[in-house]
Amino acid sequence: MQTDQKNKQYAESLAKYLSGEMSEVEMHAFEKAISVSDQELKSVEEMKKQWSAMKDYSESNVPDARKAWRNLHSRLENENLIPTPKIGSVRNRMPFFYKVAAIFVVLIGIGAVLYFNVNHKPAVDMVHVDTGNESNTLVKTLNDGSVIYIAQNSLFSFPKEFDEKSRNVGLKGEAFFDITPDPSQPFIIETDEAYIQVLGTAFNVKTSNGNGFELIVDRGKVKVTLKKDPSHYVLVTAGEKIASDKNALVKTKFEMSKALPWYKQRMHFKDESLQNIINVLNSNFNTTFVVAEKETGNRKLTVTFENETPGTMTELMCVTLNLKSKIINGSVVLYENKEDAK
């Protein structure tokens, strides 16, 4: 039953893709999903060619079924796929063709069902985060533990569950990436101009809607490949910056600023678990927050930190979630306020 539902969802996505009804973000997500399988990619490309060849079907807002059948009949007849009727059988020609066309459609349907059931991997369920004009840095922890700091006016796309072979995401705008290492599952970022592949590192990416991009590596190593020339790639290591210039990649040295990085200045967490939040705080500031119980760490929280001291951070989290805190062996332990719960 679940497979039938996935097949139905894929068929609906395929129809939207071929008819041009997908948004740009949906289209990128769909193309990324089918690119995992060469066979699937070739099949969809062939469907696109067939769809383009039949564009005249949609010239009118009201479909002309007979015209469509005639056009298809003509194509099949030219390719000798329909027997020539005997003289005197003109009156029965169209009904005969309807039978052939019906068989043709049924065969296509059977082939599609077999393809979906045997070869198809359902389209990836993508999440799209649009930060808008808010002057916050939206902090998002992915299910692999990687932390993404998304700047304003940026669009970040990621799957709810990563593929077993790779971790593919998309970016339009600017973001700082702190990626959890996993050599068996490379992390790949797609921008308008390039693919950025990493294993485990921290770096900043800034794109300009197809008019150039730049990448600065804080630690680790990344591989940058231009979309227009996949054979051309550059490896970038810590302390280096790479930027696109006239369809080329230019690498220079870059000295990291001692000032507080932009992504730490005003961090906003939206519906994020308390455990993920304190992991980010402990990683970026001189804090040692811990939760007393796993259930407490799973509680969701929406909060913004801007130049806060450890004390005010503690107070914000405790007030919002009705928690209490105490210091044990130098760590700030957050635990449930059971007195108020009575």
pLDDT, tens digit (0-9, with 9 covering 90-100), for 233-278: 899 999 999 998 777 889 999 877 766 789 999 999 999 999 999 9
**With 70 as the cut, is the pLDDT of residue 226 above it?**
yes
194: nearest Cα among 252, 247, 151, 154: 247
Looking at 60-201, which runs of residues are DSSP E strands? Answer: 126-130, 137-141, 147-150, 155-159, 167-172, 174-178, 187-190, 194-198
Separation CA 333–CA 342 (nearest Å): 21
**Model-level pTM?**
0.65
CA distances from 244 to 124, 151, 216, 224 (A): 30, 20, 12, 10
- Return the minimum-mean-pLDDT range out of 91-100, 168-177, 214-223: 91-100
Q: Which of 7-16, 60-69, 274-283 has the highest mean pLDDT?
A: 274-283
Q: DSSP assignment of 259-285, as one string?
A: SPPHHHHEEEEEEEEHHHHHHHHHHHS
Decide if pLDDT at 8 tops 70. Answer: no
The three-class DSSP label of residue 173 is coil
Separate counts of helices (H) and strands (E) for the chain: 10, 19
Q: Do residues 202 and 180 make contact, with C-beta atoms less than 8 angstroms apart?
A: no
- Is the pLDDT at 326 greater than 50, yes or no? yes
Q: Calculate mean pLDDT across residues 195-210.
A: 88
Question: Could you tell me which residue, 57 or 129, shows the higher pLDDT?
Answer: 129
Q: Which comes out higher in pLDDT, residue 68 or 299?
A: 299
Q: What is the largest CA-CA distance in the chain?
A: 100
What separation in angstroms does the CA of 247 have from each of 191, 213, 277? Answer: 14, 11, 39
CB neighbours of residue 257 within 10 Å: 8
- Closest-CA residue to 204 (of 196, 219, 216): 216
Of the two residues 231 and 185, the one the predictor is more confident about is 185
213-219 and 240-244 as β-strands: parallel, antiparallel, unpaired?
Answer: antiparallel
Q: Is residue 180 within a helix (H) or strand (E), and if so which, with residue range? A: none
**pLDDT, greater one: 295 or 23:** 295
State residue 291's pLDDT score.
97
Domain ranges of the chain: 2-118, 126-253, 262-341
Q: Is the pLDDT of residue 309 over 80?
A: yes
* Chain segment 125-166, per-residue pLDDT in tens: 889 999 999 889 999 999 999 999 999 999 999 998 898 889
DSSP state of 161: S
In this predicted structure, the answer to whether residue 181 has a pLDDT above a threshold of 70 is yes
Other beta carbons within 10 angstroms of residue 113's beta carbon come to 12
Q: Give the domain 262-341 fold.
A: Phage tail protein beta-alpha-beta fold (3.55.50)
pLDDT confidence of residue 302: 96
User: Phi/psi at 36 (nearest 5 deg)?
Assistant: -65, -35
| Residue 69 pLDDT > 70 | no
Rounded CA-CA distance 273/294 in Å is 11
DSSP strand pairing (240-244 vs 147-150):
unpaired
Token pair, residue 97, equals 């063709």
- CB atoms under 10 Å from CB of 230, counted, come to 10
Assigned token pair, 179: 């990626």
| Segment 274-297, tens digit of pLDDT | 999 999 999 999 899 999 999 999
Please count the residues of the chain.
Answer: 342
- Which tokens in the block code for residue 129? 């985060």
CATH among 2.60.120.1440, 3.40.50.800, 1.10.3720.10, 3.40.640.10 for 126-253: 2.60.120.1440
pLDDT tens, residue by residue, 81-117: 555 544 444 444 445 444 444 444 444 554 544 444 4
Cα–Cα dist 222/219, whole Å: 9
